[in-house]
Amino acid sequence: SQQGEEDPQALSIQEGENATMNCSYKTSINNLQWYRQNSGRGLVHLILIRSNEREKHSGRLRVTLDTSKKSSSLLITASRAADTASYFCAPTDSWGKLQFGAGTQVVVTP
């Protein structure tokens, strides 16, 4: 299975600090996506990185991908209380099937 597996399971930081979470997967992918979910509701797409890309930025987000190690990381810089959420990585196959892991719960305290 190419299901993503996030680490750590939970992360607690203060506003202004950076948050880093990692994702590992098992098989080849077309791309890897990161999503955020607030309070068990709908998922919000954050960023997509293709298998031939190594790094991508979007605002305060930085994603890396190492296909040789089958791993990815998501960095949120200068975190805010509004960043409190669950974050999921989703390795994606050529048909667009997302294989989510259990996620990382991030709590940002003021």
Partner 1 sequence: DAGVTQSPTHLIKTRGQQVTLRCSPKSGHDTVSWYQQALGQGPQFIFQYYEEEERQRGNFPDRFSGHQFPNYSSELNVNALLLGDSALYLCASSAGGSPYEQYFGPGTRLTVT
Of 10, 44, 78, 81, the residue at the interface with partner 1 (CB under 8 A) is: 44
Q: Does 97 bind partner 1 (CB under 8 A)?
A: yes
Site of tokens 């099937």: 97
Alpha helices in 3-110 (DSSP H): none
Q: Does 72 bind partner 1 (CB under 8 A)?
A: no
User: Which of these segments, 12-20, 39-47, 58-66, 67-75, binds partner 1 (CB under 8 A)?
Assistant: 39-47
Please identify, among the stretches 18-26, 40-48, 54-62, 72-80, the one whose residues bind partner 1 according to the rule CB under 8 A.
40-48
By CB under 8 A, what part of segment 45-64 binds partner 1?
Answer: 45, 48
**What is the separation of C-alpha 47 from the centre of its chain, rounded to a whole number of angstroms?**
8
Residues 6 or more apart in contact with residue 39 via CB below 8 angstroms: none
Q: Are 108 and 81 in contact (CB under 8 A)?
A: yes
**Three-class SS state of 37:** strand
Give the residue, chosen from 33, 71, 72, 79, that forms a contact with partner 1 under the rule CB under 8 A.
33
Residue 108 has φ and ψ, to the nearest 5°, of: -110, 120
Q: Is 91 in the site for partner 1 (CB under 8 A)?
A: no
Q: Which residues form the interface with partner 1 (CB under 8 A)?
A: 4, 30-31, 33, 35, 40-45, 48, 88, 92-103
